[in-house]
Amino acid sequence: MEKIVLYVAIGIAVLIVMRIFTLPVKWIFKLLLNTVLGFVGLFLVNWLGSYIGISLGINVVNAVVVGTFGIPGLILLLLLRWLFAV
């Protein structure tokens, strides 16, 4: 009887540990996907935008915003560029 309780406790502990580690892995993959899509979008904006006069500098601030928020971050930077254009 004691062995059964021990096996059940070990099983529950394994499930808890698996649950703890799977959630951050999903967040990491989502952040990685946002980063890749954002940088591709930033590259395309700079490449295609050079023909119509739109560009965003590739610097630390833009990299953090685009890397964290992905395409919505890129759109935010473009809107801020448009609003504060001199």
pLDDT digits (tens, 9 = 90+) for 7-16: 888 888 888 8
Return the pLDDT at 30.
Answer: 84
SS3 18: helix
Return the pLDDT at 79.
Answer: 92
Query: pLDDT confidence of 86, banded at 50, 70, 90?
Result: low
For the chain, the domains span 2-83
Contact predicate 62/77, CB 8 Å: yes
User: Which has more confidence, 31 or 81?
Assistant: 81
Distance, in Å, from the CA atom of 35 to the CA atom of 47, rounded to the nearest integer, reads 18
Mean pLDDT of all residues in 50-70: 84
Which pair of tokens denotes residue 35? 């980063």
Return the DSSP state at 66.
Answer: H
pLDDT digits (tens, 9 = 90+) for 14-54: 888 887 777 777 788 888 888 888 888 888 888 988 888 88
Indicate yes or no: pTM above 0.75.
no
How many Cβ atoms are within 10 Å of 36's Cβ, its own excluded?
A: 12
